[in-house]
Every structure is written in C-alpha cells, then in structure tokens.
Structure 1
Amino acid sequence: MDSSLAISGGPRLSNREWPRWPQPGDRALKSLEDVLTSGRWTISCAYQGRDSYERQFASAFADYCGSAMCVPISTGTASLAIALEACGVGAGDEVIVPGLSWVASASAVLGINAVPVLVDVDPATYCLDPAATEAAITERTRAITVVHAYSAVADLDALLDIARRHGLPLIEDCAHAHGAGFRGRPVGAHGAAGVFSMQGSKLLTCGEGGALVTDDADVALRAEHLRADGRVVRRGPVGVGEMELEETGRMMGSNACLSEFHAAVLLDQLELLDGQNARRTRAADHLTDRLSELGMTAQATAPGTTARAYYRYLVRLPDEVLAVAPVERFAHALTAELGFAVTQTHRPLNDNPLNRPSSRRRFATDARYLERVDPSRFDLPAAKRAHESVVSFSHEVLLAPLDAIDDIARAFRKVLDNVREVSR
C-alpha cells in the first residue's frame, strides 16, 4: 500500500465528510419566519405588543452566563469597545491586551482612541500571562482585557487579584469560550464585564452578533446607551406603535444594536450549545490521549477550570519534529490528509499584518499617539513560540464520531512517519 503523503501525490488518509458549521436547530426557520411577519425587525423599530427576540435573548443569555444583565450588541468587536468605554476607558488610556489573539483585541481598543499594550501569553495555555500583565501596568493603565483563548480558560484567580490590587476593571473576552466555566461559574461573570462574539465561526453564532454581560448596573446602563445611539430600553410600559428605546440625553452612543433576525437565531443556537460542547469535549479528550502517545502536547487550561469550550483544538509539535519541518508545512500536510483546514495559531499582534494602526489616517491624531500604538514596540516571545510550534483546527470537526477522531490521530502518525518528506 502506498504510504507516501497526500502532499506528494499519495492517497489521502481520510475521505470523510466532516461536520459543517453553522448548524441550525429545529426552531430557527420558524423563528425567522415569525420575525419576517412581525412588523419589527430590530429593537429600534416600534413596539408590537410582545417581547422582542432581542429582549428574550438578553434574558436567556444573562441566565446562561450567571450574570445579572446582558446587553445584546451587533458584533464581538463592538461589544469589547463598548465594554471598555462602559468601564471608563477613554482617549490615551492604556489597556492590557494579550499578544496572541484575533486583531479585534487590539482594534477595539484603538477604536475608542485608547492604547493597546500587548502582553505575552502563558506558554502552556496561550492566555494572558499574569506576571507579564502586572509588569506591564503603568500609571496610564485603565483596564485589563483577557481572552479565554481557543479552548483554555485564563488564570482568573491571578488576574482578578492583580486587577483588584491595582484598582483596574478586568474585562473577559469570551469569544472562544461560550459555555466554559471557572470555579463552578461561567466565564464572563467573573470580571467587571464579559463580552462575547457570535460571528459565524463561533460556538454560539448567528452569523454576526455579540453581547456584554455584567453584574454592575452602571456598566450595563452605559453599555445600553453606547450601543443604541444614547438610548436605553424603557423600564415602564410601552404602547403598541411606540418606541421601546427611550432617549435619556445622559450619554452619546452609536448604533450597534442586534437585529431581531440575529436574536431569533441565537435563541435557537443557545438550546443546542451545551449538548454540542459536551460532544466536543469528549472528542477532544479522546484525541488528546491519542496524540500524547505521539509526543504531542495539547493546549492546557488554568487550574480552576470547571468546564472547557473547544473553539479550536490546539496541539504543540515536538521540538525534534520542528527541527526537521516548519509548523506551516506540517499543517499543510495534515490538511491534505484529512480534507479540512489545519492551521497555525493567530499571528502575534506585534507582527500581524491586520494590526497596522499606521495604515489608517484615523489614528494619526499626533506623532506621539502613533508611536504609542505601534505594535512592533512589544516583545512577545511566548506568543511567537506558540505560532511557530502549534497546529490547530476548528471546533466543528470535534462533532464527528469518535472513529473519525481516530482518523485525525492516524493522520498525525502518518505525517510524523514521513516528516522529512514534509520539509521538502
């Protein structure tokens, strides 16, 4: 039997149909049809005599996250920017940002004219490193943002302690972590605010969407103003045909409301989330056992994690393999064997083509500000090491049956056995 690699013209190890994403539930089509005929397609349209899907989702997601309040928002990026402003961050302020993350972790800070301070990650969890975080705090620091990255929960014990001692709000970015938990409580409910993305690749998705959860009534009220052009949902009775959003004049905002279509889909998806997460965790544990036998090291999570949510599955290659073949070639070989995309981590934000403030005149307020927001001024060795040694694939693959997960392990073995072929 031909054992050569698929990238060299050999047979592909697997020809399976892997799960696709997103996956609608039984409720979605009926709910979308209901929105279409309801006479109300967004919270900023006139009240029609019943709770909007947006209000229904806000209540359901607050309960799911163990938080007192939820403010639905149009995107995860907008949710993060609104959380920062709602926590008092403004022009010129410094915000701690993990150096290994999607570009929105930095661009949301730039979007409110603040300064992203890129901080290195823990080499085992790839989440914000507490020691590096504390070392980066200055008199200008006004907030810490932490991303629960890929499938890990960050060290909230240490980061909350740092935040409290320095009098800083900790904002949890849970874009990868819908359903994850720390010390028995959902992520997002530990800091001053938790923010979520519901973009199309996410574990809970409606295509594009976001949310902010918090126990702080003042943070929630400011977030409401910021996402609805300075308006908030009325607390009293609303008549049919009246506006449910009330103009308070207290705070200027912008339009970042979530549409009724998106909210309806999210209610459908929320019903499926826990079952899907359980399947992903079972598959991930099975694969980790198989890959550890091959010398691979799966992404760790912080002590205190009580539930993991696998947005992406990450595993680090052994040094002896990387000495022969670069990680991008190894990922390419796995992709060819399996028929789904295997990639590296995000590129570190100090050397990421998506994080270039100098490319937009919007940020050229003055020369000093451009110097402060130049990402190349930060050194991120652990993030760089992760990008150069870790391969990753998306969560929907983990919804496949366990015999398909075994195919993934066999593909790793095949590529390892032919690693010199990978390096060509």
Structure 2
Amino acid sequence: MRPTPPPRTYRVKSFGCQMNVYDGERMAELLGAQGISPAPEGEEADLVVLNTCHIREKAAEKVYSDIGRIVKDWRREDGTSPLIAVAGCVAQAEGEEIMRRAPAVSMVVGPQAYHRLPEMVAEAAEGRRTVETDMPAEAKFAALPARRKVGPSAFLTVQEGCDKFCTYCVVPYTRGAEISRPYKDLVAEAQGLVEAGAREITLLGQNVNAWRDDTNRGLEKLIETLAAMPGLARIRYTTSHPNDMTEGLIEAHRDIEKLMPFLHLPVQAGNDRVLKAMNRSHSADSYLRVLDRVRAVRPDIALSGDFIVGFPGETDAEFEDTLKLVDAVGYAQCFSFKYSARPGTPAATMDGQVAAEVMDERLQRLQAALNRDQLAFNQASVGKRCTVLVERKGRHEGQWLGKSPWLQSVHFTGEAAIGDLVEVELTAAGPNSLSARLLHPAHA
C-alpha cells in the first residue's frame, strides 16, 4: 500500500443494531475532531468506514461485496480508491482474514478499539495497513470527544458485551463480557447530550438491564437520576433480557413519568425445548409472567420483541408454540429473522438444521401475525391524545414527523420545529405510522 494524502472527507456506513448506530456516530465525531469533514451527499469520500454487524445473514460476505463495490465505483482518475476501514463486529470476528482477502482495506478495527481510529487513519495515509481487534483495558469511552451537537433523540451506551452465551449469538465473542460503564460517566455524558440538543435519550446495551453501578444499583437508579435532569423529557432503554427484568426496573415504568411506555424484551421462540437449546434461561411461561408484571404497573405499555424461526431442530409443532405466544402477547412491533448459522457458535454445528424453504414459510406466517398485531395496536391508538417529539420534516409542505410515547411514527401538519414536544390527537392508523391533528403548540 502506497502513501496517500491524509483524508479530508469521510463517510461512515453503519449496519445493524442501535449500538452500531451509536458507535458510528462516535467514530464520526472522532474523525471530525481531527478536522476531517463528512462528505457531501452524492460525493465520494476520501475515507469510508464500514461499521459492520455480524447479525446480518452472510454478514462477512456482504462486507467483501461492499468493499468491491467501493473500489469499482469510487475509483479516481489516477487509479486510486478511498481509504477503507472495516469496523464493528465482523471486523472483530474476521480480523486478519479481511486484510488477507481484501487488499483494498487499509484498517480493521473492532468495536472495543475504535477510539484508535484517528491513529490508524494517520498510519494508513503513510502506507501502513493496521489491525486492532484487541479488547484493551484502556477505557474506550474516556478517549472519545464530547458530544457537541445531536438530534432531538440520542443514544447513550451504558453497557456492552454479554455473559448469556445464547447458542446462536456471536456477541460474547465480538463484544466481550458484560461491562457496565461507571455511573458518574453516564450522568456526565447524558448532561452533555441534553446540552447538545437531546430531548430524549435511549440507553443502550447488548443486555442493557444487566447494568449495575459499583454499589450494585440497577438500571432503574440510573433512569431515576436522568429523569431529574432539566431539559430531558424522555427516557427509553434497549435491549433487555427477561431474566434481568428486576422488580425495581418494572416499578420504574410506574413511578418515573419520563420513562416511556415501551419495552423491547426479546423472547426468540415460544417453545421451551427450543429455548433451552438456545440457552435462553427462561421459559415461555416465565417470559409471559414478566410481561404480566409490567402490564400490571403500566397497562398502556407497548411491547416489542425478537424472534428466530428455524432454529436447528425446531419442528412444525414447536413453531406453532411461537405463534401461540405471539397471539397471547399482542406485540406493538417486533423483529423476526430466519436462523442463520454464525461460525464458532454452538448452534452452527447442531443436528437438525432446518431447510431454507421451511424457514421461509415459517417466517412469512410469523410476520403476518406480527404485522396483524402491529396494525391492531396502531388502530387502537386512534382517538388518543399524546405528546409527540418532533424529529424531522415530512415529505409534504408543512408536515412534521415524530414519535409517540409508544415509539410509533406520527405525522401531522402545523406550526412546529425539530425538537419540539407537541400535543396531538391521533386520527388515523396504518401498519407503520399514524396521522395526527395538532392540538397545542410546542412546550418545553
């Protein structure tokens, strides 16, 4: 690799979960602090960061496809291409293999080491290719710049890694063991987000409700502290594990007004044998009992979850149990996936791998049920009055888009601005959004 001029522009492309979105934003801030600017829309960048997700089906192969596309489509007149960095969970899992298979890649950096990205970019400009996939003891977050400007809704990573070792999942291998960020650091970063423009903060973690401070206080204590912060109007959190839904966290949904009535709590399957094979450590019944406890304290809560169909060995009857659980819950929204083997995970070598056409048919049936319930939840919201956080302009003149307390997309027309909290009446519902009538102007 020959030396190149230091990059003046960058583009970060993030795939996958909200934590990847957060990491992508932080990488952009790191590059911005070095005087590198985001590339204007439609123009090629001097540096492209592919912030990858290993949950995507055939994730590694899609990364190589993206790299090839960049090299082909963005080649300059002098024959050079942009500097390419591969970050995220695929980078952590593949490491040196990416360097071997993709000579166009200048740097590979895992999710626990991206604070080193500016140094790696400087080394790449000098013609050196670098790989950083260690999980160093040095605190990544301490090396990140302060948040200077954010949108009305911002992410805050409070916990990383996972100790659950679900048999289908690579997170313990790509993100490491469960680590909770220090309480004081989170309060300081949250305050900075509010000062930078955030009205709503979503607390993030691979297993966010496993967060504990150094005195073993749980997530509800952090939420309680943030709720007292002037200027912060809304708090959310994701993603949770059923076994870490403590009574204190459940009661927070009753007691803390700023905690929005929305809970994303993945179950993955509705059959106990399949759940045991997944190493999920909860049963369908214990999961439903957790939801009953949450609904008892917050009857209007919107529930969300994750499902995997076609896990190795899953029979037709066991899949029917998943449909029965869906019917019992009535989700407001959900994510559903076909099982996809991840190299190095126990499930990848299990007997009884389910045929692709069977998984396709099951996924269609599951998604039909989930879509039915999402539409029903939205339709049941018509006539309600609620507060909407305005996030952006709509496609039509005078139209605004925002989120209801139940994380529904809502559009309305009238006098408003990004970041406003406005009172509306929900007037019509579709499967993915609702229409509303503006009742009152913005309030602080």
Q: TM-score, normalised by structure 1?
A: 0.28
Report the structure, 1 or 2, having the larger strand content. Answer: 2
If asked which structure has higher relative contact order (CA below 8 Å, sep 6+), I would say: 1
TM-score, L = length of structure 2: 0.27
